[in-house]
Amino acid sequence: MTAPDSPVPTWHHGPPSAALDALGVADDERGVVHGAAEVRERFAWHHEYHDGSPHPTWLVAATADGDGTRLVWDPSADLPGGEYAVGTVVPPRRLAAITGWLAGVWPATASVRVLSDTGVLSGTGLSGDAGFLAGTDALGGGGVASDADVLAVVTDPAELDALRRETTTGRYTGGICRCPGNLTLTLHDAGGALLGTARLHGHGSVAWAAERFHNHLDVADPTALRLRLVGWGVPGQLAGFFMALAFKLDLVPDETGPDDPAPPAGATLTGILDWLGALPVPIPAFGPGGETGRRLLAAYPAEEIMAAVAGDPPPHRMLGAMNWAQFQPDDRPMARLLAPALRRLL
């Protein structure tokens, strides 16, 4: 199926990876090679899945052809054999809808609130996005968040401009996670009226007016975004950093070993942290092994644990400290302490 609202290229002068980049492919499997038969099956599934959907995406297959790349949008039964890379493209019309909306709401934004609850906005009976889409003046009169729900209120123009860049720059995926997210941002005008909402998912995904646009944005610099929240005093940011660093250190294998390892006998504080930070994720890092490490760390004052990772600590030691901090009443002191190192590593 070709695009009704934009020309669709069928050739690119360069390798398949460059062709997908040039198309702005949002969701692809870099390094995964597909045969012609599998590509036909994927197209059939894609078309069936999106039949009648108000939020379609386009599927594209790319295969090397001489010094260039052949792009296929609707393979027929005689699709040539070969090796194909496959990805999805968000139609320009869908991109224009969300980027145009954002271009309208941000200039009118005078404050942003960070909410801990991504579910119901008190007083509306609706989710944040649903309340906005229905025209509900949530948090500006019709719905009110309790003091406990509001983690931060930001009015500084420079901070707002930085947040705008960090939450609107990246790559739209054309889809959306079904989980409620872990934080909500609400944009308000000078009178306090709600202009729009965004749900933050994981370490680097933002869903603006999710029920309306159904189009997650994988932000360009997730570390900068989450560190900004740390700077505003928002708790709970270490979990995303922990997983991002664990992936970088290759601690998330397909299969993990025993879930009850033991630390070296007589290990010092730094030895315990290093050992805990080297455990595979999620088990044993958050299973019996992690419980053992955190129990050993309970013998040390929090100040000593913080001092052990001050400055420029080794990455595994950071992970050990982050593992411990996620089980403390407040992870913000550790997040602030590790912010410079996290910026360097991630």
pLDDT per residue as tens digits for the range 226-275: 999 999 999 999 999 999 999 999 999 877 666 668 888 999 999 999 99
The token duo for 333 is 């002191």
Mean pLDDT of 324-333: 97
pTM (predicted TM-score): 0.85
Residue 253 sits in the same domain as residue 208? no
pLDDT per residue as tens digits for the range 60-108: 999 999 999 999 998 776 788 899 999 989 998 999 999 999 999 999 9
Nearest-Å Rg of the Cα atoms of the chain is: 23
Predicted pLDDT of residue 141: 36
Predicted pLDDT of residue 13: 94
pLDDT per residue as tens digits for the range 107-124: 999 999 999 964 444 433
Residue 227 sits in the same domain as residue 122? yes
Residue 116: inside a domain: yes
Residue 81 sits in the same domain as residue 29? yes
Higher pLDDT, 169 or 51: 169
Residue 44: inside a domain: yes
Q: Is the pLDDT of residue 334 over 90?
A: yes
Please, is 286 exposed, middle or buried when counting C-beta atoms within 10 Å of its C-beta (0-12, 13-18, 19+)?
Answer: middle
In angstroms, the CA 342 to CA 134 distance is 40
Predicted pLDDT of residue 24: 86
User: Of 89, 111, 127, which marks where a domain is finished?
Assistant: 89
Residue 336: inside a domain: yes
Residue 1: inside a domain: no
User: Of 38, 56, 89, which marks where a domain is finished?
Assistant: 89
Residue 121 sits in the same domain as residue 176? yes
Residue 24 sits in the same domain as residue 71? yes
Determine the structural domain holding residue 127 and report its residue range. 95-231
User: Of 23, 54, 89, which marks where a domain is finished?
Assistant: 89
Mean pLDDT of 149-154: 95
Residue 73 sits in the same domain as residue 124? no
Residue 2: inside a domain: no
Residue 109 sits in the same domain as residue 162? yes
Residue 220 sits in the same domain as residue 135? yes
The mean pLDDT of the chain is: 87
Which residue carries 């012609």 as its tokens?
A: 36
pLDDT per residue as tens digits for the range 12-24: 999 998 999 888 8
Residue 304: inside a domain: yes
Percent of the chain at pLDDT exceeding 70: 86
Which residue carries 């054309």 as its tokens?
A: 174
Residue 79 sits in the same domain as residue 103? no
Predicted pLDDT of residue 139: 40
Residue 104 sits in the same domain as residue 200? yes
Which residue carries 């360097």 as its tokens?
A: 344
Residue 5: inside a domain: no
* 8 Å CB contact between 61 and 70: no
Mean pLDDT of 35-57: 84
How many domains would you assign to the chain?
3
Q: Is the pLDDT of residue 178 over 90?
A: no
Residue 104 sits in the same domain as residue 175? yes
